[in-house]
Amino acid sequence: MSWTALAVILLCLVLLVRRASKGPALTPESLEWPIRGLLRQGYNGGYLIIDVTRSKKFLRLDKYIRAPGDYGIELAFPKAEWSFAYYHRLLDFCTSRGIGYRISASVPGDPMEYLFIDFGNDHVRANAIVREVLLIVLDVPQNHPVYFKLENATPEDRLIDS
């Protein structure tokens, strides 16, 4: 086997492993089941990353459990260098649609400011708003592939609410 063929095979393997590590590919239209998965299967502090391919854009949803039966998910959008313009578009989006939000650090002492939208345990509302944020605020085309990664969750389809 030549060195060129070996290099091509190695490159293909690296690309395949990199692609597989991103998680399944979806579109902004098809995110309901991973959002529902976070709400049902995520532990307290579990999160879902929705990564827009070929860009620096992403969304993060976090799960919280305050007490047994008192659980939900919220969008945490950073006011970072890459997202500065989108951050202000998200503020305008929330204001124009009457969507409640709060602005704070993700943890006390964190200098990064975040805009949080709390969906409670309404995954249908979360899906609708996340879809619109991707399409309208972040300008992601309707059929553009996005990847999701669910962390700190059980693979079993069962409700974790305490």
Q: How many whole angstroms separate alpha carbon 139 and alpha carbon 135?
A: 5
User: How much of the chain exceeds pLDDT 90, in percent?
Assistant: 69
In a domain, 1, yes or no: no
| pLDDT tens profile 69-128 | 999 999 999 999 989 999 999 999 999 999 999 998 877 777 889 999 999 999 999 999
In a domain, 5, yes or no: no
Q: How many whole angstroms separate alpha carbon 125 and alpha carbon 82?
A: 26
In a domain, 78, yes or no: yes
Residues whose CB falls within 8 Å of the CB of residue 82, separated by 6 or more in sequence, listed in order: 56, 57
In a domain, 127, yes or no: yes
In a domain, 95, yes or no: yes
Q: With cut-offs at 50, 70 and 90, classify the pLDDT of residue 7.
A: very low
In a domain, 9, yes or no: no
Structure-block tokens of residue 128: 């609708």
In a domain, 133, yes or no: yes
Domain with 82, as residue range(s), is: 24-153
In a domain, 15, yes or no: no
Residues whose CB falls within 8 Å of the CB of residue 121, separated by 6 or more in sequence, listed in order: 39, 71, 72, 73
Question: How many domains, in total, are found in the chain?
Answer: 1
Specify the pLDDT at position 30: 81
Query: pTM of the entire structure?
Result: 0.82
